[in-house]
Structure 1
């Protein structure tokens, strides 16, 4: 009886493959050459046949390659061929990020199924906004179903960022319609419409599908201000009578919606407070005056910063020109890094929103500047505008009608009472009747053709004074003073109230102004003793 004794089979196999790999590297007993243009690689027929169905078929029969001991490849990358052969010998291969598509092509050509599946797994886990289109295209070309499935999920979860990519216009109509009709999307209807307009803007052939796509939009959830902005600024809509008529009709309906009750306003509009200690955001309900947690995502980037909200986003503008935003309508959203500002506006960049864009004017400590720039949230792009005639820092900014008002501040280290108006559509700066006092670091808010200047610094002293400018009469008047002095103020207009929040102060005192009665009351939010308000903005939920 013959008995077969097994040693460590796995160890023996590994040793044999290592020895064959060494023989390949040293060209020992090699009997087959792989040539790619001027590069050659020495190998063994039996190893190639054992590891690749492609080579097995080639070398099993009396082919030219089998007789000559040589195969010539033309339209492939030599490093990728070498990598695939090394995989046959050792089961290992080099990850070549910049050549992963070429490597997959060679692996499929040589019928290396294990390598194909391994590359597929790597692609599935490495999808980013930047490489989404290249991975999706190669997966579609080679039928990588698992990767395509992952691409569909990634597209759904990251479509806002993907829409900024140049290839976005090549997305198929069916994919866009599936996104618009999806009940699981966490994007607002305004964001969905913005994405559709980007899709058409990057490929005019998609315009024929826009009206069909708009039919799936829930226009009752879109604000009149957004519709007005689209009708005024988007050339795709203004040049298409049918689309213009459609959106105008929805705008008329939106303007006829009943006004919200005060309870609804409290649930709809919130003041967002940044906590300097924990980097968290808290929400202050203007009706109940209660403070609650707002979003799980902390802002852990560079301080100091300025903050502003626009549509569904909170924007943070940092002193190193960097800009971040967070979609507060999406529960698990993360802070997104946007394009840097063109200029350095110092600490706490002063900003204001107007007609769907953000404007930054002048600077703050230690930067005094006349630079003016604007950010288009739809194009993710900063543009230089006409400079302010004089350099300024710690000026107060407020938007009203189609203009931006720049008030007070420091010029050459001296507080000023200057009052100027900038109209972006004409790039025109106009000097107006100055304030009666020179101030800096004040809060500014506009309502009913009036502008309020609140608190700030006069000389070395904090102020409790409130000045009102009537745009119609071009006159300054004084209103009731606040209960306390406030500087570095953020002011927020909500219905018939104005809320004043002092930033970078441990007092956490907020004051509330009743416009109808010209009276101030103190709001003391219930927060823990370590909470310090670093900045604030107002959002619409």
Structure 2
């Protein structure tokens, strides 16, 4: 860069500006004349004559001017560690505040007095900056008194201004937020919002939502809305659920996009009414929005028997009972059309379609439009109007098979890893998973509550197991066979009672096996096929619960591994994973006889697994 200097005598001298950065710490700007000039740095000499010969910067400078020529040196010192310096300054200011050193402003809350510095408050808070720049009473007196605020929260906010740190007591989150907003401390406000969002749970949902609404916390309100939509059934059990507005309840009940089935929508409406007497007058409006034609008669009957509110309100009872009778008539009409109200659902591994097997005419037809192409390696079970599949990576999905256009809904994952295709069992409306499957051997036991979409871990099985077969009978779950950790089939037979969390070992089977089909009929447990040794087996055994004795029955016609057994009327149907169209056998319980079933199908298919549903 070149400038021109007027010497005052008509002469112009060219000045060269040179800016140098040394060691990243000292910045120098030199204005150097083109003529010979000496500049003395203490005892060291620099010779400048159009070019820099030597530079040794020192802070104490002496200038020698020759004739009318000027040499100037500008030195800017930068701290080697700016952050460390800033922390040191804040620490010193905080200590000065603590001992009332050079403090010129007092903040009083009740009997508590906090000494501060005006300039620090103004720099850290727009609230104090605006207050202290005017000639107010507080400025003249050097004191401000806060009323109706929490003293500890005021102290925390003052500490934040001085140190950038503060504490957030859980029980005073709301009070701290109020003070932070008053003092216009956005960082404190945002930190509280972050904690409210992270800590959001079913238990604190309503208190968090109230705080968000009170202070206009948009991000927290948005998080509450998402949480409410995803956990509404669990939230509906909270005492404050009755405070929800009618329009919000109707929005859920009428929504076509909601993942809730009609049974859950009805449960939601009843929970809302029961939580507040003011809502009782709106129950009929909620019930009008529910599609009762998609609710099973079994569910309505159970509701009439167990719900105290319905039993007290005669008008509601008659309304629901009328819908129950209509649901029964629909069920009877379906039975007349198909000859039975039970179907065996087959998962076709070739087309990834869901098919149904009618045990009356032995026809296989398309059952539902939804495929299972996104689901791989799973066990399955049906409960009420849902088909549940339990797959790898703890995943759980379900499909409402009564709704034609329904989709697979992702449910909450299991707590423990039960392998790729665990075998679930139902008892008293809950689903249980015990042990593991490929590649996991475990003793874990879990129970799934479908309405809450929640898993609960129960008393572990005494022995680690893989590929056990499960069946429920008399409020207990029977665990049969399986593989040990060494990969060898076992003949173990045990009973688990969830209500007492007790495991009891019973008389073992006659043959060790895993992946057996199992079904309970009239206090007898039938164990069918499975894998024994190196291959599948055709063995069939029966355990009499009353006499506690095992009996061998007629063997199946063929060997079958990975058997799913289903009882329909007086028959037991054994379905196995196979590419053959005739790999279903049925067992005449009365005559102890197995019969091969020749399926009537419109195309070839491969059975992956199966479950039994009631239409």
Q: TM-score range by the shorter chain?
A: 0.5 to 0.7
Q: Indicate the residue corresponding to 1:132 in structure 2.
A: 205
Q: Return the alpha-carbon distance in structure 2 between the equivalents of residues 57 and 182 of structure 1.
A: 51
Which residue does the alignment assign to 1:520? 597
Contact 1:170 1:203 in 2 (8 A): yes
**Which structure 1 segments of 5+ residues have no match?**
1-14, 276-280, 300-304
Contact in 1 for aligned 2:125/2:183 (Cα 8 Å) = no
**Partner Cα distance (2:428, 2:247) in 1:** 32
What's the CA shift for 1:254? Answer: 0.4
| Most deviating of 252-261 and 348-357 | 348-357
> Which residue in 2 is equivalent to 1:26?
92
Write out per-residue CA displacement over residues 29-73 of structure 1, whole angstroms, 9 at most, x where no aligned residue: 653344667684633258528943466347634425641345557
222-231 or 510-519: which moved more? 510-519
1:445/1:491 contact within 8 Å kept: yes
**CA-CA distance at 1:219 after TM superposition:** 0.7
Distance (whole Å) between structure 1 residues aligned to residue 184 and residue 494 of structure 2: 74
Going from structure 1 to structure 2, the CA distance change for 1:383 and 1:368 (only over 3 Å counts) comes to closer
Q: Does 1:182 align with 2:255?
A: yes
The 1:52/1:159 distance shift into structure 2, 3 A limit, reads same
Tell me, yes or no, if structure 1 residue 191 matches structure 2 residue 191: no
SS at match of 1:248: helix
- The one-character-per-residue Cα deviations of 1:483-530 (angstroms, maximum 9, x if unpaired) are 4x233433356899946245xxxx777833468993235899768xxx
The alignment's TM-score, normalised by the length of structure 1, stands at 0.63
Matches within 5 A, 1:62-461: 62-64=136-138, 66-69=140-143, 71=145, 74-76=149-151, 77-78=153-154, 80-82=156-158, 85=161, 101-111=174-184, 122=194, 128-130=200-202, 132-144=205-217, 147-148=220-221, 151-163=224-236, 167-199=240-272, 209-257=282-330, 258-259=333-334, 270-271=345-346, 283-286=353-356, 287-288=364-365, 293-294=371-372, 296=374, 308-311=381-384, 312=386, 314=388, 316=390, 325-328=396-399, 331=407, 333-337=409-413, 351-358=424-431, 376-378=449-451, 380=454, 396-398=469-471, 406=478, 409=481, 440-441=513-514, 442-445=516-519, 453-456=527-530
- 376-385 or 328-337, which deviates more: 376-385
Find the partner of 2:560 among 467, 486, 489: 486
Q: Residue 259 of structure 1: SS of its match in structure 2?
A: helix
Return the alpha-carbon distance in structure 1 between the equivalents of residues 420 and 239 of structure 2.
Answer: 33
Residue 112 (structure 2) pairs with residue 42 (structure 1): no
Structure 1 counterpart SS, 2:250 = helix
Partners of 2:521 and 2:324 in 1: CA distance: 22
Q: How far is the alpha carbon of 1:188 from its aligned partner?
A: 0.9
Structure 2 Cα separation of the partners of residues 24 and 467 of structure 1 = 80
- TM-score normalised per structure 2: 0.57
Q: Which moved more, 1:238-247 or 1:163-172?
A: 163-172
Instruction: Give the 3 Å change call, closer, same or farther, for CA 296–438 of structure 1 in structure 2.
Output: closer
Change (3 A) 1:215 1:123: farther
* Unaligned runs of at least 5 residues, structure 2: 1-78, 97-101, 357-363, 401-405, 589-593
1:50-100 Cα offsets, whole Å, 9 max, x none, are 94346634763442564134555751514641376369xxxx887969576
Counterpart Cα distance in 1 of 2:239 and 2:427? 27
What SS does the aligned partner of 1:314 have?
strand
- How far is the alpha carbon of 1:232 from its aligned partner? 3.3
In the TM superposition, residue 256 of structure 1 has moved relative to its aligned partner by: 0.4
Is the counterpart of residue 500 in structure 1 residue 571 in structure 2? no
Contact 1:313–1:325 under 8 Å retained in 2? no
Query: How has the CA–CA distance of structure 1 residues 283 and 375 changed in structure 2, closer, same or farther, with 3 Å as cutoff?
Result: same
Length, aligned pairs only:
485
RMSD of Structure 2 on Structure 1 (CA): 6.2
Asked if 1:464 is matched to 2:541, the reply is no
- Equivalent-residue separation in structure 1 for 2:257 and 2:441 (angstroms): 47
Residue 185 of structure 1 and its aligned partner are, at CA, apart by 1.7
Over 3 Å counting, the alpha-carbon distance change for 1:53 and 1:21 in structure 2 is: farther
Q: Which has the larger radius of gyration?
A: 2
On the 8 A contact 1:80/1:106 being kept in 2, the answer is no
Which of the pair has the greater relative contact order for Cα pairs under 8 Å at 6+ separation?
1
Q: 1:238, 1:255 → 2: CA distance?
A: 20
Q: Is the 8 A contact 2:530 2:563 kept in 1?
A: yes
Deviation at 1:221, TM superposition (A): 0.3
Q: Give the match's secondary structure for 1:358.
A: strand
CA-to-aligned-CA distance 1:88-123 (integer Å, 9 cap, x gap): xxxx887969576444312322245x6698569858
Partners of 2:266 and 2:349 in 1: CA distance = 30
Conservation of the 8 A alpha-carbon contact between 2:525 and 2:543:
yes
Partners of 1:423 and 1:21 lie apart in 2 by 62
**Are the structure 2 counterparts of residues 234 and 106 from structure 1 closer, same or farther at C-alpha, using a change threshold of 3 Å?**
same
1:256 aligned counterpart, secondary structure: helix
Counterpart Cα distance in 2 of 1:447 and 1:262:
24
Deviation for aligned residue 1:222: 0.7
CA deviations over 1:149-175 (Å, ceiling 9, x no partner): 563454234423534556545434442
Change (3 A) 1:111 1:72: same
